[in-house]
A = this chain, B = another copy of it.
């Protein structure tokens, strides 16, 4: 889904002749940072947590997207520490939403899979949670919706791009 090819690998940022022509200034970045933090807070609260927590849903979505994954691999992709993923998955395995099969390649590992029940649940929850956002988004002007839509891939890129945390 993320098109890494879209990233402009244009010469190192050490190019003084190009003071980042398309770049955002610090004030704009601050606004983006605060907006993302606050919107996330809003979405997390609105999620209600009746069924799955945000971290659980995110993990499920990741499993669904990338198929069977080892726990460590899943943790890396979600960019959390392994113990965090253990805790996130625990209620999911207990509830039969994900399965843990022994990794035939490595006796220490498990392959985390999405069960049919898990697949059904995330499909339902996804719709429910997006509905909250949808009610807000429906009030946006066409121009605002357009702007938001165009920014989604960029936000995904920023979110997925490695190199943020001193990981590894």
Which residues of A come within 8 Å of B, CB atoms? Answer: 1-2, 4-10, 13, 18-24, 26, 28-51, 54, 58, 61, 78-80, 124, 126-161, 163-165
Copies in the complex: 2
Chain B residues with Cβ under 8 A from A127's Cβ? 10, 13, 26
Cross-chain contact B156 with A31 (CB below 8 angstroms):
yes
Q: Given the complex of chains A and B, what is the CA–CA distance between A163 and B10 in angstroms?
A: 37
Are B158 and A137 interface neighbours, CB within 8 A? yes
Cross-interface CB contact of A155 among B7, B19, B36, B134, cutoff 8 Å: B36
B residues in contact with A149, CB < 8 Å: 24, 28
Between A1, A21, A132, A142, the greatest number of chain B beta carbons within 10 A of the residue's beta carbon is seen for: A132
Query: Roughly how many angstroms separate A125 CA and B10 CA in the complex, as a whole number?
Result: 8
Of the A-B pairs whose beta carbons lie under 8 Å apart in the complex, a sample of 12, sorted by A's number, is: A6-B128, A6-B144, A7-B140, A9-B139, A10-B127, A13-B135, A13-B139, A28-B149, A32-B152, A36-B39, A37-B43, A46-B165
When C-beta atoms are compared, the residue in chain B nearest to A145 turns out to be B22
| Cα-based distance from A148 to B41 in the complex (angstroms) | 20
Q: Do B24 and A132 touch (CB < 8 A)?
A: no
